[in-house]
Amino acid sequence: MSTHTLSLLEAVREGLADEMERDPRVVLLGEDIGRLGGVFRATDGLLDRFGAERVIDTPMAENAIAGIAMGLAMRGLRPVAEIQFADFMHAAMDHIVGEAAKLRYRTAGDWTAPMVVRTAYGGGFRGGPYHSQSVEAFYSHVPGLKVMAPSFPDDAKGMLTAAIRDPDPVVFLEHKRTYRAITGPVPDGEHVVADGRLRVARPGDALTIVGWGMMLHEALAAADELAGDGIEAEVLDLRWLLPIDREGLLESLGRTGRLLVVHEDTLTMGLGAELCALAAEAGVLQAPPARVAMPDAGGIPVADAMEDAMLPNRHQVVEAARRLVSSPGNGEVRPGGPGRGSWFDAAIPEASSVIEVRLPEVHLELVMAAVAEACRAVPQSNATFTWEAIRLHDQLSVDLDLGPLSPARGGGTFTLVDYGLGGSLLGLPAVRPGQTAALRVGAVRDGRAYVALAVDHRAVDGADAGRFLATLKRCLEE
């Protein structure tokens, strides 16, 4: 296949021109897209080529732009509306989210809205808080929309062509830093990318890094650095943010078992959270997933140094990847649901109970004897949980974790944490993998101590925990 080299911006322009040439129903509308050629020059030259009836300069009114585009789409045209900056799409949200996305469903398919809303998103070009937002999470939440975010020129043209031909509304996100910074080959002639699949931008087997837009290129740069350390990261270009290519994501995680998501949007409720949830629910991970994202701040700063500090970058991706790869694994990966080999084995669902015990002072021998008696009364507390069965232990072996000055002993069947004068008044111990219970005895104050029991509630229920603590209390007080 013969190709030619374009920047991502040039690929967008070529995609628009080719579809306008092919289909007379395609019209463009937006602020300054005609005489100026768009604020980023994505539509430069199209007014002269196709005329003012098909390249329409509009007032600065995003709500009107989206509403007119929807009306044109309902009357049989194929409008492509440009919103200069993604920050301004909020003014058009009612038409996009409340109307266009729901039109097919509210009319039982009698009406559709085949419209594309193009916009430039993302920071890094000193635009401040009103010209730098990443809005993908808002629109990826909306059934009835498709949301696309190309990272390479060939996808910019091929996916935009598919978006214009789509029978339903599409939000097409173009990261402004990729416009001129990213160049690459684009197939000659008609080029359509409509499969809805993510793109494996770099193969690997140590972990999966997912990104889109400019963050995809930061992820690729990070993967190159990691390769120098012998860590081969698989980098996925998500491309289609809605619907998500769930199968492609899980296929990659089946090879790597570890997930790192990188996005420029803020962390909380960003699209990365959904990707992590998909992976966790499928039970394909060997370690908890990780995210690199912008902090939860009200906006990107105007000051250059502060903007640079806020935006995620390749160095943060490298650090997060190294932490993820070095986290302990849990055996083989088993796609399809939680089971042995998934990270659910390490993420123990705990429940805790705290009681007060009359105790003049703490003696290790006394506490150990009381623990032994309580474990005999409640055998499930001296056990190991597996997905096949709860295995009770014939003998009790207590791991002592007495604080930072006394290294914890491993390999036991029960853990006793931080007892005596070094203990806290209230504190919850952590149940270790391979065990079902842990006990913490706080410091004695005025003849009393607080005792906290943490259990794996898959093996030890509330009644069992109550019986354990009642037995322990009786032994210590008597």
Cβ-contact 41, 189 below 8 angstroms: no
Give burial (CB, 10 Å; 0-12/13-18/19+) of 200: middle
Based on the residue annotation, tell me whether 131 is a catalytic residue of this protein: yes
Three-state secondary-structure class, residue 403 = coil
Determine the Cα–Cα distance for residues 464 and 177; give it in Å rounded to an integer: 59
What per-residue string of b and e applies to 148-167 under the rule 16 or more CB within 10 Å gives b?
Answer: bbbbbbbbbbbbbbbbbbbe
Cis peptide before 185 (omega within 30 of 0): no
Catalytic residue among 90, 95, 131, 315: 131
- Neighbouring residues of 461: CB distance < 8 A, sequence distance ≥ 6: none
What per-residue string of b and e applies to 29-44 under the rule 16 or more CB within 10 Å gives b?
Answer: bbbebbeebbbbebbe
Determine the Cα–Cα distance for residues 116 and 28; give it in Å rounded to an integer: 10
Phi-psi region of 336 (alpha: psi -120 to 50; beta: other; left: phi over 0): left
Cβ-contact 144, 169 below 8 angstroms: yes
Residue numbers annotated as active site: 131
